[in-house]
Amino acid sequence: MPNRIRILFFSLLLVLGSAAGAHAQQGFALKGHYIFNSSTVNEERGDTLPDADGVSIGAEFVLPFGVGVGVSGYTAGGVTEQDVETSTLTVLAEANYFLDLPLLPVSPYAGVHAGLGRFSKEDLNDPQAPEIEDTRTQLGFQLGVRVQLGSLLGLDAQYRRVSTSAAENQGGSLDRNQYLVGVTLF
């Protein structure tokens, strides 16, 4: 048993030691995420939308002083379930500030985003759910952490608050909490 613990300990040191040389990356990156959605239709009523998880792909450019700007698109549902006419599709522009921690391959970040998209009415099975528009605008913020596993690969974990309350006639009835996990390739 002590031999296994030593092997585990030295393996962990090796992984952390190889990642310790990787700092927050700069420059162009491609990223992909899996999105776990959670929406509240009306907090007073306690109704929720049946949120399909989704996928996201995008590109980002991180400037030398830690500011990253990017664009990404996401959709709900699986890849094989996509239908151009009825699927939810959103495009986001985002800006993040990455905090570079010396000697650690971890970069916490915070940012804001704005998006345009289409919300599928087929996501609503409840006839008493609020009336919604086919299109939507959204504003929000995100908090996350990126772990650099090497010079070309990062792992992301992010919380994103998406608000549709800026949209006319929409209010905050379709606000979303999203949890993202994914990879970033530099």
CB atoms within 10 A of CB 127: 5
What is the C-alpha to C-alpha distance for residues 33 and 35, in angstroms, rounded to an integer?
Answer: 6
Local confidence pLDDT in tens for the 186 residues of the chain = 456 555 655 554 444 444 444 456 789 999 999 998 876 554 544 544 545 688 999 999 999 889 999 999 988 765 555 555 556 788 999 999 999 888 888 999 999 999 887 655 554 444 555 454 556 678 899 999 999 988 899 999 999 998 876 555 555 556 778 899 999 998
Find the largest Cα–Cα distance for the chain: 65
What is the C-alpha to C-alpha distance for residues 176 and 68, in angstroms, rounded to an integer?
Answer: 23
